[in-house]
Each structure stands twice: as structure tokens, then as C-alpha cells.
Amino acid sequence: MADTEPPRLYLITPSEIELSRFPAQLAQVLDAHEAACVRLALSSHDENTLCRAADACREVTTARDVALVIDTHFVLADRLGLDGVHLTDGARSVRKARKALGPDAIVGAFCGASRHEGMNAAESGTDYVSFGPAGVSALGDGSQADLDLFRWWSEMIEIPVVAEGALDPSTVQALTTMTDFFGVGDEIWRQDDPTEALAALIATMS
């Protein structure tokens, strides 16, 4: 990554959304702040729920020329005409997803804090690798994708990298020259004004 290029925004939806409210909220955030991609990251595995949410979000993102990807379900991504898939199992499904979606689709992979898994995903044909949590979190096993991982990746690997999870102003500021994208999700959606909360994070990217 070139230090002269500021990281771009990669928005991650909450794990549960209200279709009567969230699309308008997403539109407001996207109108205020330029984002490269939105990821539908619902906890639900109900096909109807996912399809309805994808349709609602796609209406917002398409109008603003923003890519929309979905967690895990690359068969749904293909059926719904989404821009791609974000895989949560590291490199394991990358080749299968790429074969199913074709060369033009976005295939990304979350690799936790593992440099090895990230390299495997890159070699398997992923368009980007995501590491996290980038900040300190008590969730999961408490592991953290530290600065050294992002520094090494940005210096050695050409595949774009996303920093996500437990982002706060100090973490964002520290990672600004070491990541291509910031994956911002609950950090803003749990606030009363997501647009304002995102503006505060963007202000630290210097």
C-alpha cells in the first residue's frame, strides 16, 4: 500500500437489522461518507431473511455505486446478483467461491490474526484479506491482529488488506498507513448518530 493513499471505508452491517429503518440509515451514512463496499453480515441463516435484507441494501448501494458483498453465502451472492462474498473461514472456501462466482466477483477472506492463513487466502485467489480484531476485544479468544501484522502485510504483500474489529480512534490512527481499508461496523451502528460516529473515526486517519 502506498502511504500517500488514505485507507478507504468498508462498511459492515449489524448482525441484526430492521428493514423498516436500516436502509435509510445506511443511505444517510453513504451520502455523507464515501465507501468502497458494504458487507451484509447478518447472524441469521434464514434464506428469506437474508434475501430481503440483501435486496433492501442493494437498492441503497447500487444507487450510490457502492459494492455489496454478503458473508459466507456465495450461492446467494450469485443468485441475488451481489458483487461478491466475504468468507469467514480464511482460505478454505476461496477457490470454491471463485469458481462459483467467476473472475469478476469480489471474493474476500477473514483470516483473524493469522499471517499464514492470510497468505494462503491470497495464493488461493482472494481479492482482499481481512484481519481482526484490530483493536483490543474480549470477544472470541481475545486474540488481536496487532500492528506488526498489518505493517508486514502492507510492506510485503500486494493483495489489499482490511483492518476490522474493535476499532477506536487510537487504533485507526495507528493503522492508517498500514491498511487499505477500515472495516467499520458496530463501532458506528451502536451509536445514536452513525454518520457522526463515522466522521469522528475518519478524522483520526491522519
User: Which amino acid is residue 46, in one-letter code?
Assistant: D
Query: In angstroms, rounded to a whole number, what is the distance separating the alpha carbons of residues 87 and 70?
Result: 9
Instruction: Provide the b/e sequence for 120-150 (b: ≥16 CB within 10 Å).
Output: bbbebbbbbbbbbbbbeeeeeeeebbeeebb
The predicted structure's pLDDT at residue 46:
97
Is 37 in contact with 10 (CB distance < 8 Å)? yes
The predicted structure's pLDDT at residue 36:
98
**Looking at residue 179, which CATH number applies to its domain?**
3.20.20.70
Q: What is the mean pLDDT of residues 62-80?
A: 97
The predicted structure's pLDDT at residue 1:
44
* H/E segment holding residue 151: helix 147-156
Band the pLDDT of 138: cuts 50, 70, 90: confident
Q: What is the mean pLDDT of residues 160-173?
A: 97
Percentage of residues in the chain having pLDDT higher than 70: 97
Q: Residue 163 falls within a domain, yes or no?
A: yes
Q: Residue 1 falls within a domain, yes or no?
A: no
* H/E segment holding residue 174: helix 169-175
Between 73 and 140, the more confident residue is 73
Number of Cα atoms under 13 Å in the Cβ half of residue 171? 20
Q: Residue 152 falls within a domain, yes or no?
A: yes
Q: Around Cβ 54, how many Cβ atoms within 10 Å?
A: 22
3 has a pLDDT exceeding 60: no
CA proximity to 38, closest of 99, 92, 6, 83: 83
CA proximity to 118, closest of 84, 184, 168, 162: 162
Q: Residue 3 falls within a domain, yes or no?
A: no
Helices (H), 33-146: 47-63, 74-80, 94-101, 115-124
Query: In angstroms, rounded to a whole number, what is the distance separating the alpha carbons of residues 126 and 50?
Result: 23
Q: What is the mean pLDDT of residues 145-165?
A: 97
Q: For the whole model, what pTM was predicted?
A: 0.96
2 has a pLDDT exceeding 50: no
Average predicted confidence (pLDDT) for the chain: 95
What are the φ/ψ torsions at residue 63 (nearest 5 degrees)?
Answer: -65, -20
Domain count, the chain: 1
* H/E segment holding residue 159: none
Band the pLDDT of 4: cuts 50, 70, 90: low
Domain that holds residue 48: 8-202
Query: In angstroms, rounded to a whole number, what is the distance separating the alpha carbons of residues 166 and 12?
Result: 12
Distances (CA, A) of 93 to 26, 73, 98, 102, 108: 29, 11, 9, 14, 10
Q: What is the mean pLDDT of residues 167-191?
A: 97
pLDDT in tens, 86-117: 999 999 999 999 999 999 999 999 999 999 99
Segment of 3-17, 125-139, 172-186 carrying the highest mean pLDDT: 172-186
